[in-house]
Amino acid sequence: MRRPLVAGNWKMNGSKEASSALLKGILAGADAAVSDIAVCPPAILIPLAAEKLAGSKVAWGGQNLNANESGAFTGEISGGMLKDYGCTYVLVGHSERRTLYGEDDALVAQKFGVAQQAGLMPILCIGEILQERESGNTEAVVARQLDAVLDTHGIGAFENSVIAYEPVWAIGTGKTATPEQAQDVHRFIREKLAALSDGIASDLRILYGGSMNGGNANELISQDDIDGGLIGGASLKADEFLKICNAAA
């Protein structure tokens, strides 16, 4: 049985004070929550998260990592550094990284491997933009994004990973995929991987992301192949985030 995971992606939001309050609010409801929980704060706030969350049920992770282990990469952060601060997870290939920072499938695949080498669990983000959906190319895009990782690392690498299906047109827009639209893509992802390994595909957690909130989480997470959520905006309010963690029944 797959245990649901709800992960918060804070993006570039927060301060020491606001983040302390947010973490405190999340911790207050975490033990009672039905899902596994993780938060991905901006890198500079990871030590704060590590301090506040140590010994709790809430895990933490990075939003990005460099594809190299160390060296002359000014401004960058390595998987080893995230691991050093107790991160369990790291987002890889978030659509904002792909679109705003030019990360292509090959780089995302490289980062996926480097994350695992550092002992982190990558949360691989995939999803189509609006034109791709409207032109009927959603499955082709998602398959291409998966193939980049499969071709480089093989199906075995998915044993230690999470996938987040995030239709780009639904991220931060208030437009959510319908539960049926999301389930169709989640099923497609699982079936594609099941063709290579049934066991790995059936244990793999596939999260939905894109304007998930306390009001729509239940309907989405109750779909057969939706195993939790990757939450942006709604992860910045403890009550709202905890509602999603409790939707994952």
| Size of interface with ligand PGA, in residues (CB under 6 A) | 13
CA distances from 7 to 82, 90, 105, 166, 180 (A): 16, 10, 23, 13, 22
Nearest distance from C-beta of residue 154 to ligand PGA, angstroms? 26
Q: Which tokens is 124 given?
A: 């691989």
CA-wise closest residue to 43 among 95, 7, 5, 91: 91
Q: Which tokens is 227 given?
A: 């195993």
For residue 100, what are the β-bridge partners? none
Is-catalytic flag, 166? Answer: yes
Q: Determine, following the binding rule CB under 6 A, whether residue 214 of this chain makes contact with ligand PGA.
A: no
Q: Determine, following the binding rule CB under 6 A, whether residue 22 of this chain makes contact with ligand PGA.
A: no
d(CA 224, CA 121): 23
Nearer to ligand PGA, 51 or 175 (CB): 175
Please provide residue 168's backbone torsions phi and psi, each rounded to the nearest 5 degrees: -60, -35
Q: Which of 96, 103, 132, 166 is catalytic?
A: 166
| Helices of type H across 136-178 | 138-153
Q: Determine, following the binding rule CB under 6 A, whether residue 122 of this chain makes contact with ligand PGA.
A: no
The residue with its CB nearest to ligand PGA is: 232
Burial of residue 187 (number of CB atoms within 10 Å: 0-12, 13-18, 19+): middle
Is-catalytic flag, 94? Answer: yes
Q: Determine, following the binding rule CB under 6 A, whether residue 209 of this chain makes contact with ligand PGA.
A: yes
Q: Determine, following the binding rule CB under 6 A, whether residue 61 of this chain makes contact with ligand PGA.
A: no
List the interface residues with ligand PGA, window 224-243 (CB under 6 A): 230-234
Nearest distance from C-beta of residue 54 to ligand PGA, angstroms? 25
Q: Are 185 and 137 in contact (CB under 8 A)?
A: no
Which of these ranges, 133-141, 153-161, 203-211, 214-222, lies near ligand PGA under the rule CB under 6 A?
Answer: 203-211
Nearer to ligand PGA, 119 or 172 (CB): 172
Nearest distance from C-beta of residue 82 to ligand PGA, angstroms? 18
Q: Are 249 and 33 in contact (CB under 8 A)?
A: no
CA-wise closest residue to 220 among 185, 174, 229, 190: 229
- Count CB atoms within 10 A of the CB of residue 198: 11
Write the interaction track for ligand PGA spanning residues 164-183; mark x where CB under 6 A is met and - where it is not.
Answer: --x----xx-----------
Q: Determine, following the binding rule CB under 6 A, whether residue 35 of this chain makes contact with ligand PGA.
A: no
Nearer to ligand PGA, 158 or 165 (CB): 165
CA-wise closest residue to 167 among 152, 189, 148, 151: 189
Nearest distance from C-beta of residue 169 to ligand PGA, angstroms? 10
Binding footprint of ligand PGA on the chain (CB under 6 A): 9, 166, 171-172, 209-212, 230-234
Residues labelled as active-site residues? 94, 166
